[in-house]
Structures are given as C-alpha cells and as structure tokens.
Structure 1
Amino acid sequence: MSQKHVTTTLTLERLWQFSLQYYSVREVKEACLSLQNNFHGNVNLLLLLKWLDEEKLTFAEHDWPTVSDCLSSSETLLHSYRELRRKLKLSVPETLYREALQFELQLEKQQQSDLVHCIANLSLATTDTPALAARYCRHLGAEHLGRIFSKPIEPFSSKS
C-alpha cells in the first residue's frame, strides 16, 4: 500500500450508480442478499468496499471501526423498516408494497450518503492488491462470497 494520501472521486451519485449497475448482475445480487440475510452483513458497506477495490484504493487498518460506526445511525432504522416491509408483503396491495420498496431504497441511499461522507474524512491510499470487499466477507465468516466480490467487474452492458 502506498503511504501517499490520494483524493477520491467518490460522490453519492457515483456510488449509487455503481451500486445499481453492479447489483443488477444476478450472481452479485444473490451474493449480496446472502451476505445480508445469512451473515448479517451490510450490503451498502460491501458495495462501497467493492467500489474502492475497483478504484484500487484502501484505508488504514485502524479506520475499520470508523467506517463501521458511520452505519450505526442508519442501520437500525433500515433493518427495522426492512422487517416491517417483509411482513406487509402478503397483506397490502401490490402498489403499496412497491411504494414501501421505493422508500426502503431512499433509506439505502441515505446510508450510502453516510458512507461517502465517512470515506471523505479518511486518508485513502492506492493499493496494487485491492481486497476490502473480500476482507469484509472474511470478517463475517462468508469467505465463499468474498470470492464473488473479488472478481473484476466486467464492462456493463444493456443486457445485464
């Protein structure tokens, strides 16, 4: 890892668009849902880490708690809302359920905003061996999913 501080081009809109495109890949979506549902992982954090990996950027070991802490304000709300939406799925009209999904997406975007703000306050460095996403999966006990997120991103096409 280079010790040189680098400036990132990360914005909320760039992370959001990256996330929508990357998550649209079936294998990635399935792995993200498994990470969330089976290993209690945070998909927005994973997507941020994957973006950093793709940009060949990393942060210092001692910054992991800072990154995790920036999720604390939104994670409880998002988790509670997600559970409520799942319970409502079978008892509300489809249009209302879709509105609930849209609101959940707004909460997801707010969480990504929190992550972008957090990363902007860290010292980032370049790396030749990006491994943040895989490391996060390993930390959660989901090494097999880390292999999926370690694959280089293929150019996105309109067929995704």
Structure 2
Amino acid sequence: MIQTSTSLTLERLWQFSLQYYSVREVKEACLSLQNNYHGNVNLLLLLKWLDEQQLSIEQQDWHRVLSCISSTEGLLHSYRELRRKLKVHLPDTLYRESLQFELQLEKQQQSDLVDCMNQLRLQPGDSQLMTQRYCKELAADHLAQIFAKPASFSSTHTKHKK
C-alpha cells in the first residue's frame, strides 16, 4: 500500500541499509542507539529510508510496526549477546560465520518490516523526520542530528542503477 514512486522491497531496503550503514558516523550512531538506548537498528534504517522518500508512518500504525519485529527482536538480542560472549573463545573463521548468521537474522527482520510497511498507508512526511521521532522516543535526541543528514549516496546510487 505504499504510495510512492519507489516501492519498498526487501532488496531495496537491504541495499540502502548496507550503503547507509557503511558511513562510519552512521554506523557509530546506530551502534550507540542499539547499545545505549535499546533502539532497533533495522527499524531506524527503515525510518531513514522513509525519510529519504519523504514518507511517514501514521501514529496509530506505530504499534503494528513494533509488533512485526517483536518475534525476531528477542532472538537477535539473545544471539548478539551470545556472540559477544563467545568472541574471545572462537577462532576467527567461526566468529566470522557467527557474524554472517547474525546478518541473516537482521535480513529476516528487515523482511518482516517490509511486509508490514507494504500493508500500511503511509503519509507524506511532515516537518519532523521519522528518525528524529524515533531518537526522541528513545531519549537519544543527540543522535537524531546524525540521521537527519541526507543519505548522499542515495541519489547517485539510483542514477548508477539506471
């Protein structure tokens, strides 16, 4: 139900996320949001995609979005904690495999988010960005300024894809 010239697919969100997260400042802010404020990075990346499309989620649909990631959130959190504890005990190759598995879990969570988004009626974005709202909700307002910057690669990335 997304009314935009760019429809949301898992591959589109995944590629956007990989590129956006590859910016050092963004990665550090995402990890801070996750580790210090219990934020969900996949949700933040989706919200950033929406901001870039100048779209927003209606307030009454927010609970639906949160519930669509609840099943994978507990699993991801538990796995991430286990991986961190085992890091010093695992050979590098096994640790890298554990990171790859965690990425698969992340992609599954993004798939759940995409399915959820495609069932919602999105609104044109207003003056407050979705990433700003999320940071404010988590009391991480200072991180919002990092996510408010345009994802500069997105327009050039789109041009190269054509």
Whether TM-score is above 0.5 comes out as yes
1:126: how far off? 1.8
1:127: how far off? 2.5
Q: Which runs of 5+ in 1 are unaligned?
A: none
CA–CA distance in 1 between the matches of 2:153 and 2:57? 26
Matched-pair identity in %: 68
1:129: how far off? 3.1
Taking the TM superposition and a 5 Å limit, the aligned residue runs for 1:112-131 are 112-127=110-125, 129=127, 131=129
1:155: how far off? 2.5
CA–CA distance in 2 between the matches of 1:130 and 1:122? 19
1:61: how far off? 0.9
Taking the TM superposition and a 5 Å limit, the aligned residue runs for 1:99-114 are 99-114=97-112
CA–CA distance in 1 between the matches of 2:125 and 2:24? 28
User: Greater helix percent: which structure?
Assistant: 2
3-state SS of 2:20 partner: helix
CA–CA distance in 2 between the matches of 1:91 and 1:55? 43
Q: Which runs of 5+ in 2 are unaligned?
A: 158-162
1:59: how far off? 1.7
1:130: how far off? 5.4
CA–CA distance in 1 between the matches of 2:41 and 2:120? 20
Match of 1:38 in 2: 36
CA–CA distance in 2 between the matches of 1:17 and 1:155? 11
Match of 2:67 in 1: 69
Deviations 1:109-147 (CA, angstroms, capped at 9, x unpaired): 000000000001100122253510110000000000011
Taking the TM superposition and a 5 Å limit, the aligned residue runs for 1:11-160 are 11-127=9-125, 129=127, 131-155=129-153
Over aligned residue pairs, what C-alpha RMSD do you find? 1.7
Please, which of 3, 6, 26 is the counterpart of residue 6 of structure 1? 3
CA–CA distance in 2 between the matches of 1:6 and 1:24? 28
1:152: how far off? 1.2
Tell me the TM-score normalised to structure 2 length.
0.90
Deviations 1:8-27 (CA, angstroms, capped at 9, x unpaired): 51000000000000000000
Residues matched between the structures, number:
154
Could you tell me whether the CA contact under 8 Å between 1:71 and 1:114 is conserved in 2? yes
Deviations 1:63-115 (CA, angstroms, capped at 9, x unpaired): 11111111111000000000010011000100000000000000000000000
